[in-house]
């Protein structure tokens, strides 16, 4: 199995308790899967059902390995943690939300 990375643009679903606070988000998502199609399906299910977000657009997608991240680089710390979590649990994400107050 591989770890697939996605960058999604998303909006809060109607049942998301934060829908009145956030208008949207960019979501970095790492998924353990056999192929890109099943990885996308797992990510979509996770974001819709567990996180309360609807995918608007796929901004980026590719296969990543742990070597992609630099262990001693503070900029990679969160991404490396998410990569490791995806290896262990199958999926991980980071949400970068925005409000109307731009």
Q: Which residues have a Cβ under 8 Å from the Cβ of 2 and sit 6 or more positions away?
A: 32, 33, 34, 39, 63
Dist. CA 37–CA 2, nearest whole Å: 12
pLDDT tens-digit readout, 22-49: 999 999 999 999 999 999 999 999 999 9
The pLDDT confidence band at residue 101, using thresholds 50, 70 and 90, is: low
Whether pLDDT at 88 is above 80: yes
What is the model's pLDDT at position 3?
98
pLDDT tens-digit readout, 51-78: 999 999 999 999 999 999 888 888 889 9
Whether the Cβ atoms of residue 63 and residue 5 lie closer than 8 Å to each other? yes
- This prediction has a pTM of 0.92
* Domain parsing of the chain, residue ranges: 2-98
């Amino acid at each position: 199995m591989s770890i697939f990375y996605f960058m999604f643009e998303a909006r809060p679903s109607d049942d998301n308790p934060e829908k009145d606070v956030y208008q949207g988000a960019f979501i970095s998502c790492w998924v353990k899967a056999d192929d890109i199609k099943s990885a996308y399906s797992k990510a979509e299910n996770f974001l819709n059902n567990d996180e309360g977000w609807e995918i608007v657009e796929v901004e980026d997608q590719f296969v990543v390995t742990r070597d992609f991240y630099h262990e001693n680089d503070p900029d990679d710390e969160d991404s490396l943690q998410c990569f490791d979590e995806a290896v262990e649990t199958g999926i991980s994400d980071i949400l970068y939300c925005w409000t109307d107050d731009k």
